[in-house]
Amino acid sequence: MIPVARPVLGPEEEAAVVEVLRSRHLSLGPRVPAFEAGFAARVGAPYASAVSSGTAALHLALRAVGVGEGDEVITSPFSFVASANSILYERAKPVFVDIDPVTLNLDVEAAAAAITDRTTALLPVHIFGYPADTPALEAHGLPIVEDACEALGAVHADGVRVGGRGHPSAFGFYANKQLTTGEGGMLTMGSAEHKERVDSERNQGRAPDMGWLDHDRLGFNYRLTDIACALGLVQLDRLDGMLADRARVASWYREALADVEGLELPCEDFGGDVRGWFVFVVQLPRSVDRDETIRALLARGVQSKPYLPAIHLMSFYREAFGYREGMFPVCEDVAARSIALPFFPELSEGQVAEVAEALADVLQVAHEAGAA
């Protein structure tokens, strides 16, 4: 079976974790600030705060820029659900707008049209590692929180790395990400005030100079352990190689799938933007049943998965906000046809060929059945 994802872990990660275990200093130790400093330098951000997940990073970022009850935050319906859920944590309202059919990122013109006097922030998602048009959104003068959980390694056309523009930018380190700590996340920032607030709120609202049981604001248990940060430091050292390996696997897929009729591949880099490869997601022909395709691939020894559903059509969002089919047609079309193929740094060229052959065969069978 060729899996959808697999992390790159070696003896260096094992040694780093064992060193922390032997130190007996598992939390609030020296690896946390070391990982933060290394990560901030990597993306070109003045500050970074390690937290328990990308979702936690988004939540703290929204609080830092002042989002609160009754506010509206414009964001994408084509994302992992955490980007929208984090807005609800503060009793604000996610205002969805449709996506660009090429990049699959937030449509900046639709976002501009949705701004009202209740709009408190914009939350673009760098979907599948392709940079959102953050520079265009900056023209509105509103606070921006970037969901960069899938975009480590991505670069904007002006040469600024995603996470380095000064806006609070959330990264996630789940096992399928470009860099993994198992679970975990990072928030990069350009503001010392934001850094101070986030560091306190991730640690139950405790200031650095306060006692263990003393707290002067509302906070959360969003800390990241020294064990995870030790993993992250080693992964950070590996990052250039892992990103290059991901890009190479993507190039193999492009070549192997180029002639598959009706299949839409991820957009090429254009205009100077550079993708940080996270997943390889293709859109099936509209005449093909996606779920049946996934089952047929599994029977051929290839894992795949729907990626991603439209958030506004999830039952909770339908019931809470009255969303329905047809409101964001580009998102709905893409969400209905997209599947993630196996994609990770150690995937071989032979495995890519095997996946491509299986997908081509499955689609050919579906085409013949539809024509019969």
Among all residues, which ones are annotated catalytic?
177
**Strand-strand pairing, 93-96 and 338-341:** unpaired
Is residue 74 classed as helix, strand or coil in its secondary structure? strand
> Rounded to an integer, what distance in angstroms lies between the CA atom of residue 84 and that of residue 230?
30
CA–centroid distance for 326 within its chain: 25
Is residue 279 classed as helix, strand or coil in its secondary structure? coil
Q: Do 51 and 224 contact (CB within 8 A), yes or no?
A: yes
For the chain, give percent helix, strand, coil, nearest 5.
40, 15, 45
Phi, psi of 144 (to 5 degrees): -120, 130
Is residue 129 classed as helix, strand or coil in its secondary structure? helix
Q: What stretches of 92-191 show up as alpha helix (H) in DSSP?
A: 108-114, 134-138
> Rounded to an integer, what distance in angstroms lies between the CA atom of residue 369 and that of residue 372?
5
Q: Do 73 and 98 contact (CB within 8 A), yes or no?
A: no
Please, which contacts does 245-251 make with residues 24 or more away whose CB atoms are closer than 8 Å? Answer: 245/8, 245/345, 245/346, 246/178, 246/277, 246/278, 246/343, 246/344, 246/345, 247/277, 249/277, 249/280, 249/343, 249/344, 249/345, 249/347, 249/352, 250/277, 250/280, 250/343
Q: Which two tokens stand for residue 362?
A: 């499955």
